[in-house]
């Protein structure tokens, strides 16, 4: 690169062309942003896959496919070996843009020797590799894909086994069987009903009944299992749920119909029993997959951040290992800008660490030899060597896990709306059916068979088909609506718990504010553009914040990084106070200095900044009648600034994890329903103690797994959105339940009087289910 070009880009010209490979902004006279992209472009051209660039559509939400020199981690424990010697590895793919990327990755892998399967699942963003030969071949395969600009992170074999969706496939199989049976049984039922009018002979009718019975009974035995199991489990614990009346109804109706068939009588209800199961399974399947998708997306978020720790072996070699396999006493090397993977004591290096994700403290803390550092903090300054301390019970993480478990045990079980309704509903219905039987048999003087049949009709009419669909149908629609907005609802009952929330407790650092420090306003634009051109080449958190603040600026070549000090190119230096040659004065908070030849040094200061839409979100929450509070681990002054800026009067500072639990439990003791929103390790226990909890996707892994809701993106707006959607969902659920009960109340006298023939039952059940479904779709209004 010529000196003239350096000067040109230092002058702060905005970039106006995009890199030919990754699509990021570059100076107008260049085709590529970096050597990695140039190499990737050349590789793709050589393999004859150049069409990729014409066919792809870059997704602005995804990471740009820019090759980064990621260090290789220990793959061995992720690889499974099959009996026939084939090896298998599943990896999460980061940077997938569109279908063309899938084609590119698979095409490149197809040219590798020894690979049997290399297939990308675009829905789950996973790459599955199966090959023959040594384990080390994986390095080569992964390297081939990473050179294209994608990042691959191995999935744990145990996580994969847990993600293997057995329950989902069981439900789909049950649904297929129930669908097959329902349609065929309904065919013969319609023939029978037509025959009642047109005069079908008894022999033909009997044949039709037998056909129905032979299809319906095995189908119910198979497809009804999800309900039977759930009902048995509830009864065993002395509870009832919606599945108890469903199971009793289905079993009774089926056996009664069989008796009728054997006796060769007129009415059977096989079609009602089978289509009931079919309708209910549709609800279950939709519900399962909507939430499964949200959970898979949440798991992907956590996996993508999984970083191994660099351990300095006694022989002087640095090896990357997973954090859980590090023994106490091991020496860990933490580069500048890297997240510290273990709890330990610093043995070498002087630096500052950003502990915001652990303690909520927003300002970096200085550490030197002998100082303690915790897993999850970020090393902002010079490289550190850390002596890992005892893993297990002694760590801060283990302490938080214990507190979370204790808080969850105290929280008690939430009873969902559907179960609260069925507690009253099931006994009422069963008593009504029994009374009907006794009245017809004992008082009206009908035969046992006829009385039983009427009682069965009562059970079918009141069988809570619409009632059982009322809640799942709404949940599916609400969950998918939130999913589209980047909000992942992980818990089935979260929606109902969210609807009652009247108090929101926010953590400050990383929740109300952005997880990374941002450039303080008021810097000189020309100096900023120059600094950003240098900062773009660094992975240091402050350098990244500076580059982000400057917007797209042409990157320059020939930047030399001095680890722990700063960046240098063509005589321009960007970095620490000492590196920029500033002698006088002391630093106040995080800062970066820029030194240019012939110009006075310029300082860039960093401060925490509120998340976008924070003020608007709190105003919206207030309008919903919700009280907002802050519970922060940070210093009082920092909390006061944020609280004043957002108009929050109840703000507490300097809280530890146990204090946050105490606050949440005190609020709940006052009868309030608390939503806790937090991201730090120290928020984890309070998240578990609250009625319902939410975390941004930047949160500590533990907090993210504890939270009921995870929201993606920088904006705070999802917090108000989830409560609005939950309240509307609750309204629609109540309407659905009210409608179902009213419907049953009207038809019940008809059933008791014995007017409900099989075709009336079938029509009543289908129409009420359809109305409930249609009503649930109203939730989708006002989205786009």
Partner 1 sequence: MNAMLGLIALSIVMGGAGLAVFLWSLRSGQYEDLQGAANRILHDDP
* Residue 233 neighbours by CB distance under 10 Å: 12
Structure tokens at 227: 């309900």
CB of 129 to partner 1, least distance (A): 14
Angstrom CA distances, 78 to 74, 81, 129, 322, stand at 8, 10, 12, 11
Nearer to partner 1, 162 or 623 (CB): 162
Cβ atoms of residues 96 and 122 within 8 Å: yes
CB of 195 to partner 1, least distance (A): 12
Residues designated as active site: 507
Nearest-angstrom CA–CA distance, 617 and 716: 7
Residue for token pair 């100096």: 527
Query: In sequence order, what DSSP letters do the residues of 180-238 get, joined into one string?
Result: HHHHHHHHHHHHHHHHHHHT--HHHHHHHHHHHHHHHHHHHHHHTHHHHHHHHHHHHTT
Structure tokens at 583: 């002698």
Residue for token pair 């249609």: 774
Q: Classify 379 in phi/psi space as left (phi over 0), alpha (psi -120 to 50) or beta.
A: beta
Nearer to partner 1, 168 or 612 (CB): 168
CB of 107 to partner 1, least distance (A): 4
Nearer to partner 1, 99 or 134 (CB): 99
Nearer to partner 1, 130 or 406 (CB): 130
CB of 208 to partner 1, least distance (A): 8
CB of 196 to partner 1, least distance (A): 17
**What backbone torsions phi and psi does residue 348 show, to the nearest 5 degrees?**
-150, 145
| Radius of gyration, alpha carbons of the chain | 32
Nearer to partner 1, 476 or 592 (CB): 476
Nearer to partner 1, 207 or 306 (CB): 207
CB of 430 to partner 1, least distance (A): 34
Question: DSSP letter at 316?
Answer: S
Cβ atoms of residues 707 and 535 within 8 Å: no
Specify the DSSP element, H or E, that contains 358.
Answer: none
Nearest-angstrom CA–CA distance, 91 and 166: 20
Sequence-ordered strand ranges (E) for 571-677: 572-575, 591-595, 602-607, 627-631, 651-652, 674-677
Nearer to partner 1, 157 or 172 (CB): 172
Nearer to partner 1, 210 or 739 (CB): 210
Secondary structure (H, E, C), 103-123: HHHHHHHHCCCCEEEEEEECC
Nearer to partner 1, 102 or 404 (CB): 102
CB of 693 to partner 1, least distance (A): 30
Q: Under 8 Å CB-to-CB from 613, ≥6 apart: which residues?
A: 715, 716, 717
Nearest-angstrom CA–CA distance, 424 and 245: 11
β-bridge pairing 692-696 and 674-677: parallel
Cβ atoms of residues 710 and 697 within 8 Å: yes
Structure tokens at 445: 């003087």
* Binding residues for partner 1 (CB under 8 A): 55, 98-100, 102-103, 106-107, 109-110, 120-124, 169, 172-173, 176-177, 180, 183-184, 187-188, 203-204, 207, 211, 215
Nearer to partner 1, 184 or 389 (CB): 184
Cβ atoms of residues 54 and 85 within 8 Å: no
List % helix, strand, coil for the chain (3-state, nearest 5).
Answer: 50, 15, 35
CB of 193 to partner 1, least distance (A): 17
Nearest-angstrom CA–CA distance, 428 and 1: 84
State the helix-helix crossing angle for 243-263 and 448-462, rounded to 10 degrees: 140
Residue for token pair 């798991």: 299
Nearer to partner 1, 31 or 173 (CB): 173
């Amino acid at each position: 690169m010529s000196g003239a070009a350096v000067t040109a880009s230092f002058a702060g010209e905005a970039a106006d062309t995009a890199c030919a490979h990754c699509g990021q902004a570059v100076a107008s006279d260049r085709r590529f942003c970096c050597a990695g992209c140039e190499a990737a472009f050349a590789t793709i051209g050589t393999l004859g896959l150049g069409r990729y660039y014409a066919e792809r559509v870059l997704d602005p939400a995804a990471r740009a496919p820019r090759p980064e020199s990621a260090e290789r981690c220990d793959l061995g424990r992720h690889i499974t070996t099959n009996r026939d010697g084939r090896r298998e590895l599943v990896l999460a793919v980061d940077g997938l843009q569109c279908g063309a990327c899938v084609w590119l990755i698979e095409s490149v892998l197809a040219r590798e020797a020894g690979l049997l399967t290399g297939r990308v699942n675009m829905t789950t963003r996973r790459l599955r590799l199966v090959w023959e030969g040594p384990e080390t071949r994986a390095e080569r395969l992964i390297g081939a894909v990473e050179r294209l600009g994608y990042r691959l992170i191995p999935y744990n074999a145990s996580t994969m086994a847990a993600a293997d969706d057995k329950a989902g496939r069981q439900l789909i199989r049950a649904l297929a069987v129930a669908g097959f049976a329902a349609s065929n049984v309904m065919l013969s039922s319609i023939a029978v009903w037509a025959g009642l009018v047109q005069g079908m002979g008894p022999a033909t009718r009997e044949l039709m009944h037998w056909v129905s019975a032979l299809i319906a009974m095995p189908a119910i035995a198979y497809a009804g299992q999800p309900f039977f199991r759930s009902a048995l489990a509830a009864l065993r614990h002395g509870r009832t749920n919606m599945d108890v009346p469903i199971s009793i109804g289905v079993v009774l109706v089926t056996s009664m119909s069989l008796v009728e068939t054997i006796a060769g009588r007129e009415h059977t209800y096989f079609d009602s029993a089978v289509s009931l199961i079919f309708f209910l399974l549709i609800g279950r399947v939709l519900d399962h997959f909507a939430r499964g998708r949200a959970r898979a997306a949440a798991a992907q978020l956590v996996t993508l951040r999984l970083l191994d720790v660099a351990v300095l072996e006694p022989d002087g070699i640095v090896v990357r290992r997973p954090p859980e396999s590090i023994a106490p006493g091991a020496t860990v090397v933490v580069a500048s800008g890297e997240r510290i993977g273990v709890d330990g004591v610093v043995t070498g290096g002087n630096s500052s660490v950003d502990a915001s994700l652990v303690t909520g403290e927003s300002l970096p803390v200085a550490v030197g030899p002998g100082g303690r550092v915790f897993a999850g903090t970020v090393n902002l300054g010079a490289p550190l060597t850390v002596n890992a301390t005892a893993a297990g019970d002694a760590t801060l993480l283990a302490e938080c896990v214990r507190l979370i478990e204790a808080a969850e045990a105290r929280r008690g079980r939430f009873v969902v709306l559907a179960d609260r309704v069925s507690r009253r509903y099931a006994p009422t219905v069963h008593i009504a059916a029994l009374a009907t039987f006794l009245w017809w048999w004992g008082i009206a003087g009908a035969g046992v068979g006829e009385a039983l049949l009427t009682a069965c009709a009562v059970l079918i009419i009141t069988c809570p088909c619409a009632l059982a669909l009322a809640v799942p149908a709404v949940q599916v629609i609400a969950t998918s609506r939130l999913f589209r907005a980047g909000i992942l609802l992980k818990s089935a009952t979260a929606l109902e718990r969210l609807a009652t929330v009247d108090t929101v407790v926010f953590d400050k650092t990383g929740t109300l504010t952005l997880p990374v420090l941002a450039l303080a306003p008021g810097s000189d634009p020309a100096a900023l553009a120059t600094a950003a051109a240098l900062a773009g080449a660094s992975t240091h958190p402050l350098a990244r914040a500076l580059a982000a603040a400057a917007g797209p600026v042409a990157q320059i070549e020939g930047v030399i990084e001095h680890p722990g000090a700063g960046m240098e190119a063509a005589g321009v230096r960007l970095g620490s106070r000492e590196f920029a040659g500033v002698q006088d004065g002391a630093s106040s908070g995080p800062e970066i200095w820029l030194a240019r030849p012939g110009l006075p040094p310029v300082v860039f200061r960093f401060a925490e900044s509120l998340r976008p839409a924070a003020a608007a979100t709190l105003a919206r929450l207030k309008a919903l009648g919700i009280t907002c509070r802050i519970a922060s681990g940070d210093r009082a002054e920092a909390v006061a600034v944020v609280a004043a800026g957002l108009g929050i009067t109840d703000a507490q500072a300097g809280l530890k994890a146990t204090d946050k639990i105490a606050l949440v439990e005190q609020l709940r003791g006052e009868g309030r329903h608390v939503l806790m929103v937090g991201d730090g390790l120290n928020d984890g226990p309070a998240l578990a103690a609250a009625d319902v909890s939410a975390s941004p996707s930047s949160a500590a892994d533990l907090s993210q797994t504890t939270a009921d809701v995870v929201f993606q993106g920088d904006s705070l707006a999802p917090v108000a959105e989830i409560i609005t959607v939950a309240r509307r969902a609750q309204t629609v659920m109540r309407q659905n339940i009210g409608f179902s009960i009213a419907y049953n109340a009207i038809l019940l006298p008809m059933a008791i009087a014995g007017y409900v023939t099989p075709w009336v039952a079938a029509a009543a059940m289908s129409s009420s289910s359809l109305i409930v479904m249609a009503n649930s779709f109203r939730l989708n209004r006002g989205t786009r």
